[in-house]
Amino acid sequence: MRFEVDGTRLDVTPEPGQVLRTLLREHGVTSVKKGCDSGDCGACSVLVDGTPVHSCITPAHRLEGRTVTTAAGLGTPEQPHPVQRAFADAAAFQCGFCTAGYVVTASTLDADDLDDRHRKLKGNLCRCTGYRAISDALDGVRNTVCAGAGAAVGQSVAAPAAMRIVTGNEEYTLDVRKTEALLHLAVLGSPYPHARIVSIDTTEAEALAGVHAVLTHHDDPGVLFSTGRHESRLDDPDDTLVFDRVLRFRGQRVAAVVADSVRIAEQACALVRVEYEVLPSVHDPDAARAPGAPLLHADKTTVEHRIAEPARNVVAALHGETGDVERALAGSAATVDGTWTTGRVSHAALETHATRGSVDADGRLVLRTATQVPFLVRDEVARVFGLDPDRVRVVAKRVGGGFGGKQEMLTEDLVTLAVLRTGRSVQYEFSRRDEFTIAPTRHPMRVRVRLGATADGTLTAMHVDQTMDTGAYGNHGVGVMFHSVSESVAVYRCPVKRVDAESVYTNNLPSGAFRGYGLGQVVFAIESAMDDLAHELGIDPIALRRRNVIVPGDPLVVTDPHEESDLRWEGSYGLDQCLDLVEDALAAGPVTEAPAMDGPPLDDSPDWATGTGIALAAIATMPPRGHHAHTSVELTAGGRYRIGVGTAEFGNGTTTVHTQLVATALGTTPDRVDVHQSDTDAARYDTGAFGSAGVVVAGRALYAAAQALREEMTARALELVAARTPRTASGVLGPAVVIEPDGVRVGDERVTVDELLAHGPLVAHGTHDGTPRSLAFTVHGARVAVHRPTGEVRVLQSVQAVDAGTVLNPEQLRGQVEGGSAQAIGSTLYEEVVLDDTGRVTTDSFRAYRVPKISDVPRTEVRFAATHDPLGPLGAKSMSEAPYNPVAPAIANAVRDAIGVRPYRLPMTRDRIWALATGAGRPTDGGA
């Protein structure tokens, strides 16, 4: 079969049933991405004879004699298509994994289509941006600038990879040509939520042609670990094996086949014969803690494995009190009491988890993987398999979305075992179904909040009782629990507080790290309760919060007023400004129209009820107990600078800010900064890109390295000038020294880069240990319309004010806030990973799990507080996770304002809101 791809003729024979996406990638066309393989996300979009199609559902055999154009065929980084140029200029991407498909579809739109963009683009999903910047690109709005030498910070500088991303030339994890020696891995998962393997026979599978190995618990290295990764591996319980004989959730690995192709590996999985002893399972955390419940990790101990109470299925617990809550509540003029429930949420990053492993020419194990934490993966792989960490290299290219989901080790361990067993290169790539059924989700929680206050609204008591379903394994089950009841509780002054929190094992799929790291669930409950308290007292909700929020000088108290903490105010406080900004924005009304949506028209009918709501949140600017970065900056030929940093880029934008910081410190332009990153060979160490630490930790370390290099360049230039002009040597310190793009100017003398480097290399290093930490604040306001007959909720206005310190890149920061808000709107109104009563995931595709489309989210108005934080680089604070946390309660409070009934459960789907709005259900126990 012959057809043309991006101007090149292909003469190929497709496999039976093969689709165009896999055929193209097999032949090196990596601009076509895999997001779903079911025609739901558009990451694989291409033009076939000028018509956009999803290549993942287009049969390859239909391409005979036709012309296929991918993003790479539309234009090149040097000569982009006008739509590609528009996407780059508008900063219409963050991780960029969806962008190649998006520009392909957008390239077919004409002026008449732009008014109907929401329908025309409904087949393309973006998880990162919130869609505003994409819409700007379609309208020809330019949001980026070209910064002058030394003036990059504070400018909306474009991402260094912008033109590569929009033209489909940026490399993601598996964007490398298939080698002849590459093997593929497929996994046989458990059909039961709880079972023990009695026997396993791999004979038939091993006999299948093309199979190179079948791996089972007999091949397990016997070292317990956690898939969750942190700076200290002791933060997580050791409760996981590469292969375990006891299976604790549906889909858990039973066996893995390594074969010449995925198809052969999957066929061989069906030939593995397993005899199971089915064990009793438990799927509700309250039932899991009850006497007589099935125990998931009874063979492990508190001391050795760091599980709080294995005999109660409790992985972590916190029970603490300052004062007497019951007495304080009894003496309060007003009290509220409610229980809020949050569901499972998928990260839904468009790039699935994937790893390719091999052995390099030096005999080192090399893992090319989609991870936020390459150094932590390296160290744990080495520990589990008894390898020297220096003999393991982990490389993360640009990662197609993370949101905490790639702070896990889900594919790297299995690929390592396969490479060590076969001596060959091995690749393991999750399917979209895998992402929904075996990859960790956001922790579901039930949170009871009791508040007491005086008649004037001063808080007298706060009790938070939180139960968290951590699933079958405790990855992040400790950290998320403690963090969820930290800043959410500490943000309010209250003399009496009590927290009861437990993280509980169940036979459900594991939960893990997710944007906000537990705060979003508890903030939803506390901010909803604060709103109810305001209604109870007849006080304006914003006024009630102003009266009770912490202010500089207040202790940050959860349950222990004397607890030592490295959180510092340091004069950086913008919560008051954020409240003012949101209040003013809501009073002024929306600045843009709500997106066009399907459903009944918004009119003056009594069927529609409108309301407003606000919520606030605080978050530490980096993770506790240390977060380390070691960086380098080197002057290279031509006046360029090479930076070495371990931080991964997955749409968090750290790469852009890192280049801005270095360019500003060294008096150059960002385009002269070359980045070597997210590679354990690129830097001495980096804890990783999580906890919003990429700018405030690695960025600060890079800025320190750049400043140190500036001093070295200055010193060498002074020496060279003094040597060649001895008559001015005595006054050589007097002339002004200026670092310029092509050298150093000392007074009237100029020292070129070649002269500087002729006397040896110039490289400097910088470090930061992640302490002390600061606080960032966000306030979200929402105006909604609720359609009582259907339960539809439309967000008419979304506004968020953020305390981000010095804004290093306004457009990029705006995009982070919009993206976090859009993701939160999704989990507030639409998204839920649903399990049946046996732990089976029933929402295992994008078609069943609703990630918001361009028509589902409004433009979030972003407001910046004017603050400067001395703990961050040039006064900046982190702002990747924070925007997510206050959105759900703000919308819930607006819904309550509209219909007069409190929602207690997320997501607020139409059926649940219909039940509340029509009086069909008014539960106060988390049922709706």
Reported as a single tens digit per residue, the pLDDT across 2-12 is 999 999 999 99
Backbone phi, then psi, for 867, in 5-degree steps?
Answer: -135, 165
β partners of residue 553? none
Q: How many CA atoms lie within 13 A of 863 on its CB side?
A: 24
pLDDT of residue 907: 98
pLDDT of residue 732: 47
pLDDT of residue 491: 98
Q: Rounded CA gap, 794 and 786, in Å?
A: 6
The SS3 assignment for 449 reads strand
- Locate 798 and state its tokens: 């979304």
- Locate 390 and state its tokens: 């220096």
The SS3 assignment for 633 reads strand
pLDDT of residue 922: 55
Residue with tokens 């509980």, as numbered in its chain: 504
Confidence of residue 602 (pLDDT cuts 50, 70, 90): confident
Is residue 158 within 8 A of residue 91, CB to CB? The reply is yes
Name the burial class of residue 176, with classes exposed (0-12), middle (13-18) and buried (19+) by CB atoms within 10 angstroms of its CB.
middle
Q: Give the strand order in the sheet containing 273-278.
A: 246-247, 195-201, 273-278
Confidence of residue 598 (pLDDT cuts 50, 70, 90): low
Kindly give the pairing relationship between strand 246-247 and strand 426-429: unpaired
Task: Give per-residue pLDDT as tens, 849-884.
Answer: 999 999 999 999 999 999 999 999 999 999 999 999
Residue type (1 letter), 879:
M
Comparing 169-183, 452-466, 656-670, 881-895, the range with the smallest average pLDDT is 169-183
Task: Give per-residue pLDDT as tens, 287-305.
Answer: 999 999 999 999 999 999 9
pLDDT of residue 597: 65
Of residues 632, 764, 623, the one with CA closest to residue 235: 623
pLDDT of residue 729: 47
Kindly give the pairing relationship between strand 2-5 and strand 67-69: parallel
Q: Rounded CA gap, 852 and 411, in Å?
A: 28
- Sign of the torsion angle spanned by Cα atoms 291, 293, 299, 305: negative
Helix (H) or strand (E) holding 615: strand 608-620
The residues, ordered by sequence, that sit 6+ positions from 629 with a Cβ below 8 Å of its Cβ are 645, 646, 647, 683, 685, 686, 687, 693, 697, 698, 700, 701, 702, 767, 768, 770
DSSP secondary structure letters along 290-357: STTPPPSSTTS-HHHH--SBGGGTEEEEEEEEES-HHHHHHT-SEEEEEEEEE-B-----SSPPEEEE
Region 99-107: mean pLDDT is 98
Comparing 45-54, 694-703, 726-735, 812-821, the range with the smallest average pLDDT is 726-735
pLDDT of residue 600: 79
Task: Give per-residue pLDDT as tens, 716-735.
Answer: 999 999 888 765 544 444 57
pLDDT of residue 601: 80
Name the burial class of residue 606, with classes exposed (0-12), middle (13-18) and buried (19+) by CB atoms within 10 angstroms of its CB.
exposed
Region 685-704: mean pLDDT is 94
The SS3 assignment for 641 reads strand
Q: Rounded CA gap, 567 and 803, in Å?
A: 16
Q: Rounded CA gap, 749 and 376, in Å?
A: 48
Is 778 a residue whose pLDDT tops 70?
yes
Q: Rounded CA gap, 20 and 38, in Å?
A: 12
781: left (phi over 0), alpha (psi -120 to 50) or beta: beta
Confidence of residue 181 (pLDDT cuts 50, 70, 90): confident
Average pLDDT across the chain, whole number: 95
Q: Higher confidence at residue 564 or residue 365?
A: 365
Terminal Cα distance for the chain, rounded: 56
pLDDT of residue 925: 45
Comparing 110-114, 122-126, 417-421, 920-924, the range with the smallest average pLDDT is 920-924
Is 391 a residue whose pLDDT tops 60?
yes
- Cβ of 64: how many Cβ atoms within 10 Å? 10
